[in-house]
Amino acid sequence: MRIVQLNRRDFLKSSILAGGGLVLGLSGFAKLTKAGADSSLPPYLYIAPDGGIHLGVPSAEMGQGIHTTLAMLLAEELEVEMSQIHHIETLHHPDFKHPTFREWTNSAINFQITGGSVSIRAWHLPFRKLGATARELLQAAAARKWDLPVAECRARNGRIEHSGTGRSLGYGELSVSASRLNPPENPPLKSPEQFRLLGRAIPRWDTRGKVKGTAVFGTDVDLPGMLYGTVKHCVVCGEKLTGVDDAKAKAVPGVIAIIPLEDQAVVVADSTWAAMQGAKELTLHTSGGHKDLSDENIIEQFRSDLAKTGVPVAHRGDPATAMAKAIRVMELEYESPMQAHAAMEPLCATASVTPEGCEVWAPTQSSDFAMMMAMGVTELSPEKIKVHTTYLGGGFGRKVEYDFITAPLVASKVLGKPVKITWTREEDTRHDFFRPPFLIHMQFGLDVHGMPLGLRTKLVGPAVSRRWQMPPPWLEENGYDWVVTIGMFDGYNLPNRTPDLSKAYAIPNLQVDFVPSDIQVPTGAWRSIGTSHNTFALESSLDEVSHAGGHDPFELRKKLLDHNPRALAVLDRSAELSGWGKAPDGRFQGMSYADYLETYQVQVVEVSVSKRGKITVHKITCVVDCGQVFNSHIAKQQLEGGILFGLTAALKGEINVQKGQIVQSNYDDYPMLKLKDTPEIIVHLIENHEPPGGLGEAGTPLIGPAVANAVFAATGKRVRRLPIKRNDLV
C-alpha cells in the first residue's frame, strides 16, 4: 500500500484542519496528487498542531475493540501513547475496501465491510505502515529544522529528539513542515521484540465514553429538526404490503405520517414513543406470503433432500472403498435450528435527504452497502452522499445487511426532514436474517483400532449467499455456499485456491457434500457462520467416534492432528489447564477443537446435570493460538463474549416458524444467558508471532459441542440438537 501526502488545502474547509497539520492517506490506487487534484477524499490520519491525533479507520466498532487495536498499531510505529489519540472514527473511504473479501471472492465482493473476523489480518500492516510513514516524515522535518542528520533524530513519546544536543520538538510543532515532505516508500517497521504497546493489555480507547453514557450509538443520533419513527413489517414470510388502515394510527398524538413500502409501513412521529404507539394502531393489508411454512415442514424438506446427491465441497482418498472396508460404520445425524442475532441495540438508522445531498448515520457493518441503499432511494450520485458509521450496540452479522437503511431514507426524502428510525425489539427479533437451520448427516467408517478410516458427510440447508446481490464465485462456479460449508473440511475452498486440507483432521478418506435446500425464511450471517452448525456436528460426532472406538477424546484429536504442531500445542495446553480427566465428583467434562481462519482453539467444559435434567456449567477452559496478539485484554474479551454467545444458543432459546410467522418476539420468549448462568471462564492465549488469525467469532462454535459432549459424559445421553432441552435428559 502506498502512502500519499494529501493536499491539505482542500481540507481547510473543515474546522479541524483550519490550523494546518500533517494529513496522510493510504492509497494503493490514488497516484501522488498534484496540488488541488483528487483531494476530496477525507484524510485518515491527521496530526493537529496541538499534537492530537485524529484517526479514521476502515472497521466499524461493534464491541470487538477494533478501533483501539488499529489505533495501537499506528501508535506503536508512530511512537505515541494512546492518550495522544484524540479522535477515532469509522471512516467511509474508497481506500478502505476490504482486501480479504476481495481476495476470497475474486473481487466480486469489493466493499468496505466489517465482519468475518478479518479486520486485523487485513489492516494490521497498513496501519503500522501509516504510523511508520508519519514517524519518518516527522523525523525528516525535525532534521531539516535543526539542520542535523536524520539518523540522529529519534521519535519518542510524541516528540522528535536529538540525542546529541538534547533538543526536541513535539509532533504538533512539526506537523505543518512534515506535511510538505514526500512520504517514504518503505518506512522501517519494528520487529516484535521492540513492541512497546502491541501484545499488551492496553485499556480500550472507547471505554470511557461507554461508561459515561456519552458514546453515540445508532439509536442516539440527534439532529436539529429531526423526526422519529419506527417500522411495522408484514408478519408472514414473503407477504407484500397492499395497503394500510391508518386512521387510528394517525390519531395517536404526535404521529405525523404513515409511509407504506413493499413489505413494511414506516410510522413517523415527533417522538419514538408516539411512533411505536402509532405502529400498534396500524392495520396492514397484505397479499401472498408462505402461510404453510413451519419448522416441521422445513425439517421434512431437509430429510427428503438428504437423499439428493449434493455438490462436492471436499474430497480426499476413496471414501466409498473405505466405508466398504470399515469394521464398523456409524450413521450420525445432527440438527441446528434458527437463531437470531438479538443485539442489544435494535436496528436503527438516521437519514437526512435533500435534493442537493444526503447524509446517513447508521450502526452499519458496511458503509458501502449503506451508500448503495442511499443511492438507490435518493438517486443522488455518491459524491453527494455521506455515510457516518456510529458505534454499533452489537452487530454479530445482522448489521451488514442494509434493509434497515431504507426506511429513514424514504421517510426523509418524503418529509423533507431528518428522520431517525428505531425498530422495536419485536420487529428486530422477527425480521432478522437468521442463522440458517441445518441438518447434517455424518457417516464414519472405523478401522480395527476404532480410528476413523473414512468420513462421508452431507450438509443440508439453505445457501445463504444466494440472496446476495453479488453472488460470490463459490456459489456461481462451484455450486456450494462457503458461508454455510466453512468449518466442515472446506479447507478454504475459495476461488484461486486449491482446497487446503493440510491442517485438518487426517481422516484419509473424506467426502463432504452440500445439498442446497432453500427455505422462505430470510437467513444470513450469524456469528461464526457455517462453523456454528458444522463444528457442532463434527465435534459431537468425533466424540461419539472416540467413545465407540475406546479413545479418549483428546487422544483421538491428537492422533488426527499429529501433523499440525500448533493444534497439538493447543490440545496439550488445554488438557493440562482444564484438569482433563480430573474433574471433581459429580462434574463431567467435554471438549471440542476447531481451526477457524487460522485460529487454533480448544474448549473444555465442566458440567453437572441434575436428576431433573438441569445443566449447570461450572467452568470453561479456552486455549487459543491466534498468532500474534495485539491487545490481550481485547483478545480475551472477544473469546469470553463469543463463548457466551454460543452458550446462549446451546442452553437457551431458538427461533421457530409456524404458519409462516416467526414465533419468538422479545427477550421473554427468546431468552438470553444471564450473569447468574455464567460459569468461570479461563482463557489462555498462546504467545507467538505467527500471522494473526481471527478472534471476533472464534469462541462461538466450540462451546455447543463441548457442552453436549460433557452432557453425554454426565448422562449417557447424546445431544443431537441445540439448545439442549431438559426433557431430553430426564
Partner 1 sequence: MTRLKINGKQYTLNLEPDTPLLWALRDTVNLTGTKYGCGIQQCGACTVLIGKRPVRSCGITVGEVAGKDITTIEGLSPESRHPVQKAWIAEQVPQCGYCQSGQIMAAVSLLERKPNPTDKEIDRGMLNLCRCGTYTRVRKAIHRAAEMMKEVS
Residues that bind partner 1 (CB under 8 A): 62-65, 201, 203-204, 206-217, 219-220, 222, 228, 253, 271-273, 276, 342-346, 391-396, 422, 424-425, 633, 637-638, 640-645, 666-668, 672-676, 678, 680-681
Q: Who contacts 588 (Cβ-Cβ below 8 Å, separation ≥6)?
A: 606, 607, 608, 609, 710, 711, 713, 714
- N- to C-terminal Cα separation, the chain: 60
Cell 489480518 -> residue: 121
Q: Which is nearer to partner 1, 143 or 226 (CB)?
A: 226
Distance of closest approach, residue 212 Cβ to partner 1, in angstroms? 4
State in angstroms the smallest separation of the CB of 537 from partner 1.
24
- From 568, 532, 525, select the one nearest 698 (Cα to Cα): 532
| CA gap 240, 245 in Å, rounded | 15
Which residue number, 8 or 420, has a Cβ lying nearer to partner 1? 420
Nearer to partner 1, 335 or 345 (CB): 345
Q: Which amino acid is at 171?
A: Y
- Considering the complex, state which of residue 208 and residue 308 has its C-beta at the smaller distance from partner 1: 208
DSSP strands (E only) in 63-118: 85-90
Q: How far is the CB of 2 from partner 1 (least distance, A)?
A: 34
CB 204, min distance to partner 1, A = 6
Q: How far is the CB of 219 from partner 1 (least distance, A)?
A: 7
Q: Is there a contact between 326 and 385 (Cβ–Cβ < 8 Å)?
A: no
For partner 1, the closer CB: 412 or 429: 429
| CA-based max dimension of the chain | 83
Q: Which residue is listed with cell 408478519?
A: 235
Helix (H, G, I), strand (E, B) or coil at 392: coil
Closest CA to 696 of 118, 203, 123, 201: 118
Between 26 and 348, whose beta carbon lies closer to partner 1? 348
Backbone angles phi, psi at 657, to 5 degrees: -125, 130
Q: How many residues does the chain have?
A: 730
Q: CA-to-CA distance for 245 and 207, rounded, in angstroms?
A: 46
Which of 159/431 has CB closer to partner 1?
Answer: 431
In angstroms, the Cα distances linking 119 to 108, 124, 127, 396 are 18, 8, 11, 14
Q: Least distance (Å) from partner 1 to the CB of residue 48?
A: 23
CB atoms within 10 A of CB 224: 7
Smaller CB distance to partner 1: residue 527 or 720?
527
Q: Closest Cα to residue 348, out of 249, 246, 166, 218?
A: 218
- Provide the pairing of β-strand 509-516 with 452-461: parallel
In angstroms, rounded to a whole number, what is the distance separating the alpha carbons of residues 621 and 639? 11
The DSSP string of 341-355 is ---SSPSEEEEEE-S
| DSSP character string of 163-222 | TTT--EEEHHHHHHHHTTSPPPSS-----GGG-SSTTS-PPPTTHHHHHHT---BGGG--
Q: Least separation, in Å, of the C-beta of 563 and partner 1?
A: 34
**Minimum Å distance from CB 358 to partner 1?**
23
H helix runs in 183-246, sequence order: 207-212
Closer to partner 1 by CB, 328 or 425: give it: 425
Q: In the 8-state DSSP scheme, what is residue 597?
A: T
Q: To the nearest whole angstrom, how small is the minimum distance from the Cβ of residue 203 to partner 1?
A: 6
C-alpha cell, 367? 458503509
Task: Name the residue nearer to partner 1 (CB basis): 209 or 691.
Answer: 209
Q: 300 or 680: whose CB is closer to partner 1?
A: 680
Compute the least distance from the CB of residue 662 to partner 1, in Å: 16
Shortest distance, CB of residue 404 to partner 1, whole angstroms?
Answer: 15
Judge whether 507 and 322 are in contact, CB under 8 Å.
Answer: no
CB 63 to partner 1: min, Å: 3
φ/ψ bin of 11: left (φ > 0), alpha (ψ from -120 to 50), beta (otherwise): alpha
Q: Which is nearer to partner 1, 7 or 272 (CB)?
A: 272
Q: How far apart are CA 461 and CA 439, in angstroms?
A: 6
